[in-house]
């Protein structure tokens, strides 16, 4: 059965729209509607792949946000404190007068990590959240992984061409 087409009205900041238009022109889309449909499909795919994985993971979550958004910093800090047990370390970079880039190194269950990322994603003033995670299944003994969870920072040492030895700093 043919899916019915619905018309919707969406408010988009002009800079965001013109950046989108530039990309879709470059890619050769014939209509903005088709590009938006593809963007929505990609968004749904991201959501599914975030929720599908299970087990223990390590990785990074990066987010870009406007620190002038009222209440946002304290909200994000609260969310990070609620998830302190999975955050190994955080890097904060002041991109320009209003925008911040934050990188959270995470280690924990897939459910906790995706829950943490999604909670930050839905806040207004947060523009981008990207998650890159890998399962820890093949990453050495579980004792060593338990120790890593307690660390606040890594300094990688490369004992040989294949393995890294994290030097942990306890807080
Ligand atoms: Ni900043």
| Residue 151: pLDDT over 50 | no
Angle between helices 110-121 and 72-82 (to 10 degrees): 170
Share of the chain above pLDDT 90, in %: 60
Domain boundaries, the chain: 12-52, 55-170
Going by C-alpha positions, the residue among 134, 124, 163 that lies closest to residue 60 is 134
Distance 123 CA to ligand 1 centre (A): 16
Distance 100 CA to ligand 1 centre (A): 4
**Cα 15 from Cα 74, distance rounded (Å):** 27
* 134 vs 61 pLDDT, higher one: 61
Class of domain 55-170 (CATH, top level): alpha beta
Give kind and range of the element (H or E) at residue 57: strand 56-66
Distance 18 CA to ligand 1 centre (A): 26
Q: Could you tell me which residues come within 8 angstroms of residue 29 by beta carbon, excluding any fewer than 6 positions away?
A: 35, 38
Average pLDDT over residues 162-170: 50
Average pLDDT over the chain reads 82
Distance 91 CA to ligand 1 centre (A): 10
Confidence at 134, pLDDT banded by 50, 70, 90 = confident
**Cα 39 from Cα 46, distance rounded (Å):** 11
Is the entire prediction scored with pTM above 0.85? Answer: no
**Cα 118 from Cα 16, distance rounded (Å):** 21
Class of domain 12-52 (CATH, top level): mainly alpha
């Amino acid at each position: 059965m043919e899916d019915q087409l619905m018309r919707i009205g969406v408010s988009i900041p002009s800079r965001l729209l013109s950046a989108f238009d530039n990309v879709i022109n470059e890619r050769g889309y014939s209509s903005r509607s088709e590009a938006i449909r593809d963007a929505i499909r990609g968004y749904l795919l991201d959501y599914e792949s975030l929720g599908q994985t299970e087990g223990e993971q390590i990785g990074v979550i990066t987010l870009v946000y406007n620190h002038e958004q009222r209440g946002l910093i304290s909200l994000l800090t609260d969310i990070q404190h609620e998830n302190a047990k999975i955050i190994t370390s955080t890097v904060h970079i002041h991109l320009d007068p209003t925008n911040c880039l934050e990188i959270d190194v995470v280690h924990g269950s897939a459910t906790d990590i995706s829950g943490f990322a999604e909670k930050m994603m839905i806040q207004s003033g947060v523009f981008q959240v990207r998650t890159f995670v890998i399962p820890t299944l093949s990453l050495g003994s579980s004792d060593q992984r338990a120790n890593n969870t307690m660390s606040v920072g890594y300094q990688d040492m490369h004992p040989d061409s294949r393995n890294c030895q994290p030097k942990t700093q306890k807080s």
